[in-house]
Structure 1
Amino acid sequence: MHTMSSGRDEQAASGQLNLAYIWTISSVAALGGLLFGYDWVVVGGSKPFYEPYFNLTSEAQVGWANSCSLLGCLLGSVFSGLVSDRIGRKKLLIIAAVLFGVSSILTGWAQGFSTFVLWRIVGGVAIGVASNISPTYIAEISPAAWRGRLVTLNQLTLVVGILAAQVVNMLIAGDVGGAMSHAAIRDTWQGQYGWRWMFTAVAVPSVIFFFCAFLVPESPRWLLKAGRRDRALAVLRKIGGEAYAREALAQIEAGLERERAETGSANELFAPAVLGVLLTGVGLAVLQQWSGTNVIFNYAEEIYRGAGYDLGGVMFNIVITGAINLAFTLVATATVDRLGRRTLMLWGAAAIAVIHGLLGAAFFLGIQGPVVLLLTLGVIAAYAMSLAPVTWVLLSEIFPNRVRGAAMSIAVSALWIACFVVTFTFPILNQRLGAAGTFWSYGLVCLAGFIFIALRVPETKGRTLEEIEAGLSRRRDR
């Protein structure tokens, strides 16, 4: 069976790739990332307003309001893993769009806290589906030489969504004073209605995503696995022409032939040949969340208030964090296929560990204002160049094709469990350990993550998915 020996061979055999088409369908899939980013972060900026509205006062209530959607993320990830190999990637993109639109409206106009939590969880299901399927779909339609940039596009749209949520939050928050009591904030327009529009705004891009998702093709790898060879070939032709299509088809079929020769039961996920890769993926997912960076987005109010900023300053600082996040994600997009995945991950884990140490020291010494802001921006910059986008690239690449849907689901489920734990526990840790102890703890996690990456994570840049699978198989056989 003819296969290509490297990602460069694929590029040479491809002739003229239809880059406009590739980027268009990848961008449609990446709209799931945009909605993911908005829906996930909007809660941080609306927090000063819905908390007084629902009279949330305890650390447990505050933590639950911020983290409840993450249970939905877990459910969505499990659901997408169970059905993605049965119904395909495209249908799940459409399902995610529907859930985003419905949940955003019903969350925004919830009258009671229980209803608010219910629809936040449904919105989390949409995030879980999109976080699993969007990068998987993009990886499966991408030529090897472009895959890193295209999968990172999903992270880029995610941070655009984050920044959009932060800007919308700041504009709606307006000039509400930082010294106002909960009762006074509850009586303002922002406390009664403004926070509702913060959530509802995501319905507009949800509708766009819904209609655009009907226009993209199904993943050619999934089509071949489902026995639809002619349709898979047609999609590959549209991506890169006849020569590229024949080469890519031969390679995918060779990979599927290897899979059929091996065990095909559900227990294969836990066979030694696959379990090591699965544990690596789970470790990367947990590290991304337990690095502690995301608490800066979800708990920016507490962090920046603790650093001496009033509410207006908090909202402005949140927008700055989003802008830095976007800028350095663009850097990651430009470098991930040149510097490589492993290099960026090692650099990021080390940099975040050091900056968390400095951030903890600043809180310990009582240093406030711009120093804390600059250190948090440093954490976000390092995270945006490394753990944030590259984790998703690696998760979309390292799993064998025959179990990719289920393995991706397990890894993403682990990510959302880790995210729930770190989001729910931050108010409790902050109260018991103080901000210094909390950030030092996150720094120790990043140090352990650096060692984990050095020992367990291979370099995958410029290699086709089938080559990565074969390389991991050879490593396990040694």
Structure 2
Amino acid sequence: MTTTKQSSTYLYLVCLVAALGGFLFGFDTAVISGTVSLVKKDFNLDVVNEGWFVSCALLGCIIGVSISGKLSDKYGRKLIMILSAVLFLASAIGCTFVSSFSQLIIFRLIGGLGIGVASMVSPLYISEFSPSRYRGMMVSLYQLALTIGIVISYFSNAYLAAHAGDAFSSAGMQKMFGTEVWRAMLGLGIFPSGIFLLSLFLVPESPRWLLLHGQEAKAKDILIKVDGAEAAKREIAAVKETKNTETTGLKELFKPVYRRALWIGLLLPFLSQVCGINAVIYYGPKILEQAGFTLNSALGGQVTIGLVNVVFTFVAIFTVDKWGRRPLLFVGIGGAVFALLVIGILFAAGVTTGPWILIFILLFISCFAFSFGPVCWVVIGEIFPNAIRGKAMALATLSLWVANFLVGQLTPLMLEDLGSSVTFWLFAICCSPALWITWKLIPETKGRSLENIDNYWKETYNAAQ
């Protein structure tokens, strides 16, 4: 007879540890914005190498997410999260002490691998670990951690840049925090990476992965601790039932029964990026300067954008399991499209004085923060069958990174050649199809177990035949 007891504290702590992968994702992708001009000056970079410094991590992301699905299905979610933490830590240490630009590129690539792996495995682990009634809130913690990572990188960059001229007794410290302060900006990632790595040794493996690999006793103890004995019994029975009918190859996802899930997994992450969120996050100062803000006030506006992104993610955390996924997506995406259209109109009409541009940018950010941002991760963590969830989520996350790459590459050209008004109208057009997808394709999944959602696809398909 087991003596394991249910503990909600245990659930929250484990999910918070996994969410640290989101913090590192946000920190590592946003910290680069404060280092570009400094690295360009120190290494005397031309335009090509400047672009390579910014985008090389993206190559690592694509590679990382491409391999993470297969590895996590084979070796477990926990081990692959540990791998991502090691990659983050190696990148932060390496970037701090590099002696050449080529070395810097190598360690940025390593950091990109960590981002790619964490961006898939952390939300996957949380979705599998959490009880169905809390799953939306727990997965939203990942997005919250991501937004906090972005804001912390903004503040740390600003603080280090402001104190770069301070005197230090040590020559090494003077170099790191003075003449080459970009080393300190990138090196701060050592601390959260180390905490993430050490904390992961204290969390268990995903119980669903354990069940799929014949380790029922371990899985049962974890499930009881998370949600009680009765719930554990139901979950084990449901996983066994689906395990007996599933194959483990990715070709399973391309069967007609999972066609809707595949389209959702590919399109929702893609559209969440081409709506322009990262254009605002990464190019906010440039956009605000075009709206008439000075550089200092534009940077202040960027910090405000980051803070609003954090605050409104809490809306999703406290409502996604109460109101459901679809209502948040409808309201948030609709509000984002409206805000983008108005921003374009304001630029076209020349209304660039006063607070109006910033107000509607903040409206767009807030709508994204409680809908597209967190709910996308929740949905793609729920809709795929157990046996291939890792591989399928890797495919969905790869779609997100492809869109991220396109937006990052094209936004400067669009702002320069098309102007701000047309750029924001294009973002609104790209965002709009997500409303149709939410209406026609995405089922409401609040309160459903992962196995119940899998059965829903099969029942829906059979009923249509």
Superposition TM-score, scaled by structure 2 size: 0.91
Letter in 1 for 2:454: E
In structure 2, the residue corresponding to 1:458 is in which secondary structure? coil
| Structure-1 residue corresponding to 2:196 | 209
Alignment of 1:62-461 (within 5 A): 63-174=51-162, 192-259=179-246, 263-366=247-350, 367-368=352-353, 370-461=355-446
Say if 1:71 and 1:417, in contact at 8 Å, map to a contact too: no
Letter in 1 for 2:385: P
User: d(CA) in 1 for partners of 2:177 and 2:417?
Assistant: 32
Note the C-alpha offset of 1:295: 1.3
Which moves more between the two structures, 24-33 or 114-123? 114-123
1:379-437: per-residue Cα shift (whole Å, max 9, x none)? 11111010000000001000111211110010101111111111111112222111221
Letter in 1 for 2:285: E
User: d(CA) in 1 for partners of 2:5 and 2:215?
Assistant: 25
In structure 2, the residue corresponding to 1:397 is in which secondary structure? coil
Say if 2:343 and 2:360, in contact at 8 Å, map to a contact too: yes
Change (3 A) 1:266 1:372: closer
User: d(CA) in 2 for partners of 1:435 and 1:123?
Assistant: 32
Note the C-alpha offset of 1:313: 2.1
Note the C-alpha offset of 1:92: 0.8
| Structure-2 residue corresponding to 1:469 | 454
Note the C-alpha offset of 1:222: 0.3
User: d(CA) in 1 for partners of 2:206 and 2:343?
Assistant: 44
User: d(CA) in 2 for partners of 1:369 and 1:42?
Assistant: 29
Say if 1:135 and 1:154, in contact at 8 Å, map to a contact too: yes
Letter in 2 for 1:173: A
Note the C-alpha offset of 1:48: 4.2
| Structure-2 residue corresponding to 1:185 | none
1:255-296: per-residue Cα shift (whole Å, max 9, x none)? 21232xxx5444223222223311211100101111111111
1:190-212: per-residue Cα shift (whole Å, max 9, x none)? 88422221111111010011111
In structure 1, the residue corresponding to 2:181 is in which secondary structure? helix
Note the C-alpha offset of 1:322: 1.3
User: d(CA) in 2 for partners of 1:434 and 1:410?
Assistant: 33
Change (3 A) 1:266 1:395: closer
| Structure-1 residue corresponding to 2:167 | none
Change (3 A) 1:191 1:442: farther
In structure 1, the residue corresponding to 2:443 is in which secondary structure? coil
User: d(CA) in 1 for partners of 2:392 and 2:353?
Assistant: 44
Note the C-alpha offset of 1:35: 0.7
Change (3 A) 1:62 1:296: farther
Determine whether 1:25 maps to 2:24: no
1:161-194: per-residue Cα shift (whole Å, max 9, x none)? 1111111112122289xxxxxxxxxxx9988422
Note the C-alpha offset of 1:243: 2.5
User: d(CA) in 2 for partners of 1:47 and 1:434?
Assistant: 24
Higher relative contact order (CA 8 A, sep 6+): 1
Letter in 1 for 2:446: K
Which moves more between the two structures, 263-272 or 462-471? 263-272
Which moves more between the two structures, 294-303 or 44-53? 44-53
Letter in 2 for 1:327: V
In structure 2, the residue corresponding to 1:460 is in which secondary structure? coil
Note the C-alpha offset of 1:373: 1.8
Say if 1:81 and 1:405, in contact at 8 Å, map to a contact too: yes
1:138-174: per-residue Cα shift (whole Å, max 9, x none)? 1111111111111111111111111111111121222
User: d(CA) in 1 for partners of 2:162 and 2:374?
Assistant: 32
Q: CA RMSD in A?
A: 2.3
Taking every aligned residue pair, what percent have the same amino acid on both sides? 38
1:68-116: per-residue Cα shift (whole Å, max 9, x none)? 3222111111111121111000001111111111112323444554443
In structure 2, the residue corresponding to 1:144 is in which secondary structure? coil
Letter in 2 for 1:200: G
Say if 2:42 and 2:180, in contact at 8 Å, map to a contact too: no
Letter in 2 for 1:363: F
Note the C-alpha offset of 1:304: 2.3
User: d(CA) in 1 for partners of 2:315 and 2:236?
Assistant: 32
Residue segments in structure 2 that go unaligned for 5+ positions in a row: 165-174
Change (3 A) 1:102 1:264: closer
Change (3 A) 1:56 1:335: farther
Superposition TM-score, scaled by structure 1 size: 0.89
User: d(CA) in 1 for partners of 2:145 and 2:155?
Assistant: 15
Note the C-alpha offset of 1:369: 5.2
Note the C-alpha offset of 1:23: 0.4
User: d(CA) in 2 for partners of 1:453 and 1:64?
Assistant: 37
Say if 2:250 and 2:392, in contact at 8 Å, map to a contact too: no
Letter in 2 for 1:45: G
User: d(CA) in 1 for partners of 2:426 and 2:179?
Assistant: 37
Number of residue-to-residue matches in the alignment = 450
Say if 1:345 and 1:387, in contact at 8 Å, map to a contact too: yes
Say if 1:82 and 1:406, in contact at 8 Å, map to a contact too: yes
